[in-house]
Amino acid sequence: MRAEPRFRDQIRCLVLKDRRARALDEALSPADRIAFNDFLVSVVAVLLAPRLGDRCDAEDLAAFSDEVAARHRGERRPVN
The confidence score (pLDDT) of residue 44 equals: 87
For residues 4 and 11, give the distance between their C-alpha atoms in angstroms, rounded to a whole number.
Answer: 11
Which residue would you say has higher pLDDT here, 68 or 30?
30
Give the pLDDT band of residue 3 (cuts 50, 70, 90).
Answer: confident
Closest CA to 35 of 10, 15, 56: 10
Q: What's CA 50's distance to the chain center, in Å?
A: 16
Q: For residues 60-78, b (16+ Cβ closer than 10 Å) or e, as one string? A: eeeeeeeeeeeeeeeeeee
User: Phi, psi at residue 54, to the nearest 5°?
Assistant: -90, -5
Contact 44, 37 (CB under 8 A): no
Mean pLDDT of the region 1-14: 87
The confidence score (pLDDT) of residue 73 equals: 81
